[in-house]
Amino acid sequence: MNIKNDLLDCILPSAIDFRNPGYWLVDDVYFSGLIVTNYSTKQNIGWILPLFNLSFDVDISMFYEKLDSTKVIRELTYYIGDIGGAIKTVNSNQMDIDIVKKSYDDAKYIRHQMQVEKENLYNLCIYMSVFSKDLTELKFNLTKLEGLCASMGLQTRQALFRQEQILNTMLPICENSKDLRGSASRNVLTSSIISTYPFVSSELYDESGILIGENTQNNSLIVVDRFDSSKYKNPNMCILGTSGAGKSFFTKLMILRNRYLNISQFVIDPEGEYYKVCDKLDGTYVKLGGGNDTYVNVMDIRENAFSDDEESKGYLLDKLEKLKLFFSLVFKELSTREEILLEEKIIECYALKEISFNDDSLYINNDEKVRIKRVFKSSKDMPLLEDLYNCLEKDDETKNLAMQLKPYINGSMSYFNKYTNIDTNNKLIVADISKLDKNAMILGMYIIIDMFWDRIKQNKGEKKIIYIDEIWRLIGSSGNEKTAEFIYKIFKTIRKFGGAATAITQDVSDFFSLEDGKYGKAIVNNSSLKFILQLEEEDIKILKNILDLSEEEVLKIKNFNRGYGLLFSNKNRVVSKINANTFEYGLITTDRKDFENKINEN
């Protein structure tokens, strides 16, 4: 067996046909070459990028030949002297005077850049080769490429009778023949070489990540692993966009794809949009509000509900701090004395359930001898709001608070006065709070987030994501400083527990309204990933300074079609198109037209 010959048979074509001056043929594939012969005077960085993002097959080869600086400067000096003298004596009415002066100024500029700025001068040659299995398609694509080059300010020439030399420029031998150089060679300074670098768009690809979308600049796939701490300072994300821009579609797509990776996910759903996804993924669906039979008890104390740095506090003390936040939403204005009395009554109602500041009181069996078999108390062993109401109602000083709490006991919001009856250990939990009115919705969001936060802190080794849709309700003008601090704390510390937070909102102005935007800015700054879909002009003005948006980015965000967004990934900024396959799209779409089409098909 001759290994050398076998290898050559694998890599070499059976035949190459150069008989036609306009193309060459290699194993039934047609090739045709183009030579770039001239350029526009000024080119921006990345001007060559459109040539690398074509929808048909093109090979591009660029050659840079460094020239001898001493020789170039000497020749330029002679040229400037000769032309300078000629300009002084030439008739200024001659038609060629402008061309001569332009050449004179260019020569002086090049010499200055080489002498003062220490730049080098290069010869630049660019060649292109179009290929196709169909000759008609080859000619069509060649014409299309010539048109594109013309629109970019590039002059091109077909490589007639020079097809073999073009082939050699494309091969790894990198042969730039003298015949081609005579037509293609143009001078370029070091600073201008940068503009020919083709890879100016960000390539975002994390090996263990999920598909975010498609980079519209180079059609590459954007794959992000938000938990990769070597690339991202934190795994948090902000999704901002006007109604109908595609926020919910994108979020549901992320939920689906993260589920493939077995990541635990918890969703706040203010619009009732996530039921279908939750049902398909066998998640736990919590629907709060009157007439529903799923409940979460705000008075629950959950096992492992505080982090290592909070361990010295104890369960009840930790719960007291959280309940203070909850009741700051229930009782809008509390005096200092009322706050103290309320805390006393909360402690008292837990004491009635034999729960104290001693953590052992949270276990059904607290015998030291059988501690390994201890079982943490369930929701049925916890007090309800009704127990607190009874404690408040008995004391003349707190009867006013009891009266304010009454609607939550046996009134319109009595669904808050129930024991938790859902599976909190599911990998996907969606909390639908769409049936709650304006005031109850804020309370519902807080109760659910509190439950999710306890769940997130239970296992640091488990990857978890919490999605807070319409987050402006908690950190905007309708929230308060205490709840906003709690939400900010989640974004600031969640990575320590293996978790990631996702803020979603369409009301950008309210997102930055509380405390002069203090909490909105803090959450954005603590999110390594940001996805900005179409926004209204007023919202863009708010974001412009916060995200340091360029005028071009402002224009893009304003005119994005549905499903397009600007992705911020650390220092990278990429326009992304959201892509979903047929199964994903059918599962998550809320477009009325899709439902109408489905009905018509049936």
Boundary-marking domain end, from 395, 420, 445: 420
Does 589 reside within a domain?
no
515 located within any domain: yes
Q: Confirm whether 220 is domain-assigned.
A: no
pLDDT at 164 over 90: yes
What is residue 242's three-state secondary structure?
Answer: coil
CA 3 to chain centroid, in Å, comes to: 50
- Distance separating alpha carbons of residues 108 and 78, to the nearest angstrom: 11
Residues 490 and 475 in one domain: yes
Let me know whether 510 and 553 are in one domain.
yes
Domain harbouring 339, CATH code: 1.10.8.730
- If asked whether residues 135 and 99 sit together in one domain, one would say no
Helix 315-330 vs helix 438-456: angle between axes, to the nearest 10 degrees? 160
Structure-model confidence comparison of residues 260 and 602, the more confident one: 260
User: In whole angstroms, how large is the CA radius of gyration of the chain?
Assistant: 34
What is the pLDDT at residue 594? 58
Q: Percent of the chain at pLDDT above 70?
A: 91
* Strand intervals (E) in 302-376: none
**197 domain-assigned:** no
Statement to judge: residues 80 and 41 lie in one domain: no
Whether residue 413 sits in one domain with residue 313: yes
- Per residue in 250-297, pLDDT (tens digit) is 999 999 999 999 999 999 999 899 999 999 999 999 999 988 899 999
Residue 4: inside a domain, yes or no?
no
Based on the domain organization, do 157 and 50 belong to the same domain?
A: yes
Model-level pTM?
Answer: 0.74
CATH number at residue 32: 3.30.70
Looking at the 3D structure of the chain, how many domains does it have? 4
Instruction: Clarify whether residues 354 and 383 are in a common domain.
Output: yes
Query: Residues 41, 77: one domain?
Result: no
| Distances 90 to 77, 94, 98 between C-alpha atoms, Å | 20, 8, 11
Same domain, 273 and 322: no
Quick one: pLDDT at residue 242? Answer: 93
DSSP type of residue 376: B
Residue 78 lies in a domain: yes
Q: Determine the structural domain holding residue 400 and report its residue range.
A: 305-420
Q: Are residues 512 and 364 both part of a single domain? A: no
Question: Is position 565 within any domain?
Answer: yes
Domain containing residue 468: CATH number: 3.40.50.300
Report the pLDDT value the prediction gives residue 599, as an integer from 0 to 100: 40
Co-location of 310 and 412 in the same domain:
yes
C-alpha–C-alpha distance, residues 74 and 59, integer Å: 37
**Confidence at residue 597, expressed as pLDDT on a 0 to 100 scale:** 55
Lowest mean pLDDT among 43-52, 229-238, 297-306, 407-416: 43-52
Same structural domain, 343 and 274: no
Check residue 600 and give its pLDDT: 45
Whether residue 307 is predicted with pLDDT greater than 60 in this model: the reply is no
* Average pLDDT over the chain, rounded to an integer: 88
